[in-house]
Amino acid sequence: MNRGAFLDRDGTINVDSGYVAAPDQLEFTPGAVDAIRTLNRRGYRIAVITNQAGIARGYHTESDVEAFHAELSRQLALTGAHIDRFYYCPHHTEGTEDIYAIRCDCRKPGDALYRLAISELDLDPTRSIAVGDKPADLIPALDLGAKGVLIVPQSHVDHPSAEERPFQRAENLYLAVERLLE
């Protein structure tokens, strides 16, 4: 079984400016590309697991999200980095698109997408890591046996909010990966 890295997308890999889905909105967070390349070189299979409620809310389509992922992959490839697979949840109970306005197990903190990644990428969750900018990004992976780090503002690394306190913390993806690989 492979080591895996479960990475959140918005706010972790790319700047989260609110319901990001157009390829021209892609802006990597500081250190994200280097972090992904480091994981690739260390033999980690990378699964991006992301909630994409903008689909349920009618802001964009699944095709838009897939085009964004294609652009993200293209730009990473230019630097010698890659993501093995993208998994996204298009659902939200408050959605305006009936087909997506449902309660599901794939929306984080549900673990359905993590379990799917484990199966499809042949991952050993106990040898895997997770990084995200919300506790819901980490909870499913930690429950399955992975180690995780929460991305927080620099001022919260040493002085976390009550919600952040249970988690290891770092201010960006690169520092989180560095901490997890120590």
Which residues belong to the active site? 8, 10
Dist CA 90 CA 159 (whole Å): 34
- Those residues whose C-beta lies under 8 Å from the C-beta of residue 145, and which sit 6 or more positions away, are 125, 126, 128
H runs (alpha helix) in 6-61:
32-41, 53-56
Dist CA 74 CA 29 (whole Å): 16
- Would you say 176 and 131 are in contact if contact means Cβ atoms under 8 Å apart? yes
- Those residues whose C-beta lies under 8 Å from the C-beta of residue 67, and which sit 6 or more positions away, are 21, 22, 23
Dist CA 173 CA 133 (whole Å): 9
Burial of 26 (0-12, 13-18, 19+ CB in 10 A): middle
